[in-house]
A and B are shown apart, each in its own frame.
Chain A
Amino acid sequence: MSIDLLSVIYLITQTLNGLFSAALLFLIASGLTLAFGVMRIVNIAHGSFYMLGVYVAWTVVTRTQSLLLGAIAAILVVGAIGFAMQRFFLRRFAADPLAQMMMTMGFALVFRDAALMVWGGDPFTLAYPRLLRGSVEVAEVVFPRYRLFVIVVAALVGAGLWMVNERTLIGARLRATVDDPEMASATGINVPLLSGLVFAVGAGLAAFGGVMGGPILGGYPGMDFDLLPLAFVVVIVGGMGSLKGALVGAIAVGMIDNFGKVLVPELSYFTLFAPMVLMLAIKPTGLYGRA
């Protein structure tokens, strides 16, 4: 086998790895960016939803051996937590974004310590589903089946979100609210309820991202704050409030992060934040964001 072929295989494998990171980042950042679109706040507890998702799934998976059940439980539980948080704490500060963001900060600290209290501090990984163990081999490229599965699932979720956003009544209401919450509310759209739903869906998506990454990245104390800056870079690069931006941002960050770690591991933090700095210098609202 020639050196050229080896490096091509290597390139393809790393690209697929980058796409896997991008898939997870998209699942997580899409919820963050949607919540921003409707509520005009960044949710600092978003990383905590991701973390809680893995932990809830861990409890379920160790009892049932089913990643599917774990994912469903994680989405439901974390989605309900998100809805309650928005309904009972954030909604009363609808006119004050800073108070809402501080509230999410408080919740992030509570969730972090509560997870440590409930689940302990030992790192773990979720069990692979039986069907998705092993690797796929196409020509000379060998790639783990599970990673491929996650890429496909994220693409399906993305397509589903796009369909809901562009083709349904609730999507139309959502777009109207993102454009102008006051006008939307004047036309009879229940903006507080819609905000609660979007916040809950975002929380569920973050939890789902955590479960999908669970067999590979696992769960450990501190994972919430590890993820948060990554999700922030994705939405800053893509533009806050834009689903398309979350997709493009996730792919960009996933690729750069992956190749950065492989090529210049010492500088991995810088290769990751360089695109954000560049984007801010050129277009502060991101690729698809509006001022």
Chain B
Amino acid sequence: MAERSEALQGWRLPVLVVLGVLLLAGPPLLTSYWVGLLTQAVILAILAMSLDLLLGYTGLPSLGHAAIFGVAAYGVAVLSTRYQLGFWTCVAGGILAGTLLSALLGLIVSHVRDVYFLMITLALGMVLWGLSYRWIPMTGGDNGLSGIPSLEAHAGLPFSGPIAFYYVALFVFAVSGALMAVLVRSPFGLTLCGIRESEPRMRSLGYNTWLHCYLSYVLAGAFASVSGVVWAYYNSFVSPTYLDLTASSELFLMVTLGGPATLIGPVVGAGVIVLLKNVISAYTARWLLILGIVYIVAILAAPKGLWNLRRGRS
């Protein structure tokens, strides 16, 4: 456990404790507006962590990851509004849609690296965005799909309201986060890090690097789908903006701003971006301009991310 104590050295442990207490005990004391923001942050944190598996641990920079999230959300929307299916069918359908899509796209992208991976995932993300935009009979086009039933009603839960939803989202977040934390510490996860550091060496050691990259892509897609399903229920509305390049680049920033290959970093990044976006949008419509500037300043000031600030390692 030497690695863990190093990961939490200095200021990180107190920050983590404060964050944990806030997430667990905060909502009953907050107004519904802030509970909403916290819910968004928690759901998007799952998505950011899933991208971290790819970008941080495997070293594959995906600029189309939001598209998987969006497809899962559309899965829930289509199944629940067009076909009126039950809760668990919708959940399973959404996760399956995103995961199967990743399994398919993974076949295309898993043998390219670096710049090529970035360009191809960006292009594929744009294809999916185009599909959601133009396949109007299924997706409603630019208007999106509304009327997704509320989680509590659909699942038949005995309680309701934003705080109840928040704790459901927090539970999904905790389970997903724990699974991903186990994953990156497993031999499989360490192999992914090895591929990130030196793929030729891993290959010469006998590892099937293509398969590892493929599985990493599919797993990241599966967790992104989980996030998409929860988001669909949170917002009860899906539209093509979920899949577009701006969404993917916001997500990319969550991971790189927070600190890649830490899992906790992207959670912090997701929180910071959700907070910034909502606070700034209250004052000005220039969110994209601010986002771009945050991008540039973040790279200049903290190129390894907030969670890696003042850390000795190179």
Q: Is B87 an interface residue (CB 8 A)?
A: no
Question: B97-122: which have CB < 8 Å to A?
Answer: 108, 111-112, 114-116, 118-120, 122
Q: Is A251 an interface residue (CB 8 A)?
A: no
CB distance from B187 to the nearest CB of A (A): 26
Q: Is A173 an interface residue (CB 8 A)?
A: no
Q: Is there an interface contact between A41 and B115, defined as CB atoms closer than 8 Å?
A: yes
Q: Which positions in A face B, CB cutoff 8 Å?
A: 36, 40-42, 44, 89, 93, 96-99, 101-103, 105-114, 117, 225, 228-229, 232-233, 235-236, 240, 266, 269-270, 273, 276-277, 280-281, 284
Which residue on A lies nearest to B260, using beta carbons?
A: A98
Q: Is there an interface contact between A106 and B299, defined as CB atoms closer than 8 Å?
A: yes
Q: Is there an interface contact between B252 and A102, defined as CB atoms closer than 8 Å?
A: yes
Question: B280-314: which have CB < 8 Å to A?
Answer: 286-289, 291-296, 299-300, 303
Q: Is there an interface contact between B123 and A109, defined as CB atoms closer than 8 Å?
A: no
Q: Which positions in B face A, CB cutoff 8 Å?
A: 61, 63, 108, 111-112, 114-116, 118-120, 122-124, 126-127, 130-131, 134, 244-246, 249, 252-253, 256, 286-289, 291-296, 299-300, 303
Report the separation of the CA atoms of residues A273 and B112 in the bound assembly, to the nearest whole angstrom.
Answer: 16
Interface of A is mostly: helix
CB distance from A190 to the nearest CB of B (A): 24
Tell whether A96 pairs with B249 under 8 Å between CB atoms, given A103-B296, A106-B293, A233-B123. no
Tell whether A40 pairs with B115 under 8 Å between CB atoms, given A102-B256, A113-B286. yes
Residues of B within 8 A of A284 (CB): 111-112, 116
Most buried by B among A36, A93, A269: A269
CB distance from B290 to the nearest CB of A (A): 8
Which residue on A lies nearest to B108, using beta carbons?
A: A277
Residues of A within 8 A of B61 (CB): 98, 101
Residues of B within 8 A of A235 (CB): 119
Residues of B within 8 A of A98 (CB): 61
Which residue on B lies nearest to A47, using beta carbons?
A: B245
Residues of B within 8 A of A97 (CB): 114-115
Report the separation of the CA atoms of residues A58 and B250 in the bound assembly, to the nearest whole angstrom.
Answer: 30
Q: Is there an interface contact between A107 and B292, defined as CB atoms closer than 8 Å?
A: yes
Which residue on B lies nearest to A112, using beta carbons?
A: B288
Residues of A within 8 A of B115 (CB): 36, 40-42, 97, 101, 240
Sampled A-B contacts (27; CB under 8 Å) = A36-B115, A41-B115, A42-B118, A42-B119, A44-B63, A93-B299, A93-B303, A96-B303, A98-B61, A105-B252, A107-B296, A109-B249, A110-B288, A111-B292, A113-B286, A113-B288, A225-B245, A232-B122, A235-B119, A236-B116, A236-B123, A240-B115, A269-B127, A273-B123, A273-B124, A280-B112, A284-B112
User: Other CB < 8 Å A-B pairs besides A109-B295, A232-B123, A277-B108, 15 of them?
Assistant: A93-B303, A98-B61, A102-B252, A102-B256, A107-B296, A109-B246, A109-B288, A113-B292, A225-B244, A225-B245, A225-B246, A229-B122, A233-B123, A269-B131, A281-B108
Residues of B within 8 A of A106 (CB): 291-296, 299
Which residue on B lies nearest to A233, using beta carbons?
A: B123
Report the separation of the CA atoms of residues A181 and B34 in the bound assembly, to the nearest whole angstrom.
Answer: 51
Which residue on B lies nearest to A240, using beta carbons?
A: B115
Which residue on B lies nearest to A232, using beta carbons?
A: B119
Q: Is there an interface contact between A236 and B120, defined as CB atoms closer than 8 Å?
A: yes
Q: Is there an interface contact between A110 and B118, defined as CB atoms closer than 8 Å?
A: no
Q: Is there an interface contact between B123 and A229, defined as CB atoms closer than 8 Å?
A: yes
Report the separation of the CA atoms of residues A276 and B124 in the bound assembly, to the nearest whole angstrom.
Answer: 10
Which residue on A lies nearest to B116, using beta carbons?
A: A284
Residues of A within 8 A of B124 (CB): 273
Q: Is there an interface contact between B119 and A99, defined as CB atoms closer than 8 Å?
A: no
CB distance from A48 to the nearest CB of B (A): 10
Which residue on A lies nearest to B295, using beta carbons?
A: A106
Q: Is there an interface contact between B108 and A280, defined as CB atoms closer than 8 Å?
A: yes
Question: Contacting B299 at CB < 8 Å: which of A102, A112, A277?
Answer: A102
Report the separation of the CA atoms of residues A109 and B253 in the bound assembly, to the nearest whole angstrom.
Answer: 12
Residues of B within 8 A of A112 (CB): 288, 292
The list of the 10 closest CB pairs from A to B, nearest first, reads A106-B295, A109-B292, A110-B292, A113-B289, A113-B288, A106-B296, A229-B126, A269-B130, A229-B123, A232-B119
